[in-house]
Structure 1
Amino acid sequence: MTRLGTIFHPGLAPEALLPAARAADEAGLDELWLWEDCFREGAIASAAAALGATSRVRVGLGVLPVPLRNVALTAMELATLERLHPGRTIPGLGHGVQGWMAQAGARAASPLTLLREYTEALRLLLAGETVTVDGEYVRLEDVRLSWPPQGPVALHLAGEGPRTLELVGALADGLVVPGGYPPQRLRTVVGRLAAGAAAAGRTRVPEVTVFVPCAFGDQGRSRVEEHRREHGIPASEPVCEVWGQPQQVAEGVARLAAAGADSVALLPLGDLGPREFARAAGEVGALLASG
């Protein structure tokens, strides 16, 4: 069954995170996803706080921009989270928004090469291996974690371009899809993932997590239309948001599940606070579970 979660938007202040995390946990949601938008909350610190404040919900990092961190540091941080809260962290990696990477002095000439080298090295480090590599971007000499995770860690990558999707299919355990994908486009993405996996000789296609803007309530449609205007999305673009009462939202999530989504994370739109939004999302989860 498709997993359901919510997103903590980094437009909210850090002190709003713990109530949102506890609300997602109490509502029975499967996942809480964090965004590491520059220059707002740091994802690792936020994930540690959210995991420590909850007992069961999994926390997704959607996503860590790899140009900002040395891969050894990322391995250390992810290993620590995994050992403290086994099986509850979903690491996501991505190119980062290129304008932000330039602002931080970290923009790579070849983001795809960096992501490939980074993912390969990170997987080896998290597996407890001693890693020496002299790549174009990633350079390590006899690096080994003292406290690697005690089990496998599934790495998710984010991206939209055909070459990135091919890379995800070849290397990753999952794909993080940004908001705004209608079912038809999602089917195309899943097909490209499958092709990338097959080309790499893999029998398992990476799972897919989709971020979906969501507005609960009778005014949901108008809030979605407002969101589109704010972000310059033409009204003629295919519908990729969900809105309305929990039953209507559940139907929209089910359409994405049928198109290949293994996990759907709802991005709150509208005036509901984190607790109210989580409760409504919990109702959606119950409807999906009941078929």
Structure 2
Amino acid sequence: MTPRDASQPRIGVRFEPDWAPERLPEFARWAEAAGFDELWFSEDLPWAGGIAMAATALAVTDRIHVGLGLLPATTRNVATAAMEIATLARLAPGRLSIGLGTGIPSWMQEIGADVPRRFAALEETAVALRRLLAGEEVTVDGHHVHLDAVRLGFAPEQMPQIVLGTTGPLGLRITGRSSDGVLLPEIATPDAVRWVRDEMAAPEGSGRALLLAMTSLGDDREQALAEVRTRVQRLVDFRVFDRLTEIAGMGADGSGELTDEILQSLAVAGTPEDGARAIAGWAEAGADTIILVAGADDPIASYQRFADDVFPRIGR
């Protein structure tokens, strides 16, 4: 496979939250061998722990970048989270990204981690985490984060990338001033990427745009689209990504029709040629990383089809 042009977005795959953790070592090695740049997974209740998963993936691979996103900002003390993240960043320099989010409210309520000011907690956690990882002594008495002269004993030499999972104007402003960029859910069109980059108003060198994209590829376009449509529609029906669904053309309430054209603007779906066009669209909009999410019934086959038939079409 041709090495990735630095101007192209990085391409990753996601290990699904409900896959048994013992599958991770083999999957991580496979993803690296297949030529993917990144491997991501989230920490969703009640599945596998994200820090342990990241450590495992880094330990069994040599090159692939590992991303943990999203890690709920309120489920760990930021100092102990920084200790874990710093350890991973020292053991695998330059190969780690951390995505922070507010967490699904119902899940946070179930475990007593819900807070009244979720975005304040997210920003305080992101800022404190970055300062701790930079080796600073941190004292803060915020709404959520409380630290008294805390400094890590083993700060990493290379700062891991820290991104936030937000989609609204307030969250994106927080993202732009307190992190390296944003991780978008699986309904982000190229126009959404452009809007997000504008909303972040990030300083030069930051404001990266990472996105998740469901994938279903095959020789039969209609069959491939049908396989992924239900999964995308399920996300739309959550009614929590109003700006993204509006930009996609389905209205702020997501009640509009998920047409083939809209579906192919926010998923790597259809023929391999369609998949290559989707990647090119996001690249032109300024996406830095595209993380494929299994949208078909056989995830490995779907990812392998991308590696075999889309990588060559995008110069890889």
**TM-score over 0.5 for the pair:** yes
Q: How does 1:17-96 map to 2 (within 5 A)?
A: 17-96=24-103
The CA deviation string for residues 66-103 of structure 1, in whole angstroms up to 9 with x for no partner, is 11010001101110111111111111111111111111
Partner Cα separation in structure 2 for residue 78 and residue 7 of structure 1: 20
Q: Contact 1:4–1:264 at 8 Å: present in 2 too?
A: yes
* Residue aligning to 1:225: 229
* Residue aligning to 2:275: 249
* Residue aligning to 1:169: 176
Give, as a single letter, the amino acid of the residue that structure 2 aligns with 1:24.
A
1:101 aligned residue (96, 105, 108): 108
Other structure's SS at 2:53 match: helix
- Asked if 1:115 is matched to 2:122, the reply is yes
1:138 aligned residue (132, 140, 145): 145
TM-score, L = length of structure 1: 0.92
- How far is the alpha carbon of 1:173 from its aligned partner? 0.7
- How far is the alpha carbon of 1:261 from its aligned partner? 0.9
How many pairs align?
283
The CA deviation string for residues 154-203 of structure 1, in whole angstroms up to 9 with x for no partner, is 21111011100001111111210011112222221121112xx2xxxx23
* 1:89/1:228 CA distance change after superposition, 3 Å: closer
Q: Contact 2:68–2:98 at 8 Å: present in 1 too?
A: yes
Q: Contact 2:194–2:286 at 8 Å: present in 1 too?
A: yes
- Asked if 1:286 is matched to 2:312, the reply is yes
- How far is the alpha carbon of 1:282 from its aligned partner? 2.1
- Asked if 1:269 is matched to 2:295, the reply is yes
- How far is the alpha carbon of 1:250 from its aligned partner? 1.5
* Residue aligning to 2:212: 211
The CA deviation string for residues 8-52 of structure 1, in whole angstroms up to 9 with x for no partner, is 111212122222211110011111110111111111101111111
Give, as a single letter, the amino acid of the residue that structure 1 aligns with 2:40.
W
Partner Cα separation in structure 2 for residue 191 and residue 160 of structure 1: 12
Give, as a single letter, the amino acid of the residue that structure 2 aligns with 1:236.
E
Q: Contact 1:23–1:279 at 8 Å: present in 2 too?
A: no
Q: Which stretch of structure 1 is more off in the superposition, 180-189 or 82-91?
A: 180-189
* 1:102/1:28 CA distance change after superposition, 3 Å: same
Give, as a single letter, the amino acid of the residue that structure 2 aligns with 1:247.
E
Q: Contact 2:209–2:286 at 8 Å: present in 1 too?
A: yes
* Residue aligning to 2:257: 236
Partner Cα separation in structure 1 for residue 184 and residue 267 of structure 2: 14
Other structure's SS at 1:155 match: strand
Q: Contact 2:12–2:290 at 8 Å: present in 1 too?
A: yes
Partner Cα separation in structure 2 for residue 221 and residue 67 of structure 1: 37
Partner Cα separation in structure 2 for residue 189 and residue 168 of structure 1: 10
* 1:278/1:104 CA distance change after superposition, 3 Å: same
Q: Which stretch of structure 1 is more off in the superposition, 11-20 or 92-101?
A: 11-20
Give, as a single letter, the amino acid of the residue that structure 1 aligns with 2:83.
M
Task: Output the aligned Cα RMSD.
Answer: 1.7
Partner Cα separation in structure 2 for residue 75 and residue 286 of structure 1: 39
* 1:188/1:104 CA distance change after superposition, 3 Å: same
Other structure's SS at 2:296 match: coil
* Residue aligning to 2:251: none
Runs of 4+ in structure 1 over 3 Å off: 228-235
Other structure's SS at 1:91 match: strand
Q: Unaligned 5+ residue runs, structure 1?
A: none
Partner Cα separation in structure 2 for residue 208 and residue 33 of structure 1: 15
Partner Cα separation in structure 2 for residue 278 and residue 53 of structure 1: 20
Q: Contact 1:228–1:235 at 8 Å: present in 2 too?
A: no
The CA deviation string for residues 47-69 of structure 1, in whole angstroms up to 9 with x for no partner, is 11111111111011111101101
